[in-house]
Amino acid sequence: MTPAVDVKACCATAYSSAAVRWLVGESLHPGGLALTRRLARRLDVGAGDVVVDVASGLGTSAIEIARTEACTVIGVDLSA
């Protein structure tokens, strides 16, 4: 059995790869940035709010929320 640490390291390496970014585009989750913006609106995120993005990866969603909602975003990821 592969240790969990090895699996996490492999995933972190893959997600930071230029090839993976090229293949999946702007976002690594289903729904992309449109779903990220919809979620932020649904949660009524706005100026003065602090959002924590856990497993933020490259920070694509975190950057988008900060840009569109004028809030503070903290991204945390294994590969960071």
Q: Is the pTM of this model over 0.75?
A: no
Query: Which pair of tokens denotes residue 23?
Result: 């293949």
Number of domains in the chain: 1
Is residue 18 classed as helix, strand or coil in its secondary structure? Answer: helix
pLDDT tens digit string along 35-74? 999 999 999 999 999 999 998 888 889 999 999 999 999 9
Number of Cβ within 10 Å of residue 29's Cβ equals 13
Domain that holds residue 37: 4-76
CA-to-CA dists, residue 72 to 26, 45, 50, angstroms: 21, 10, 5
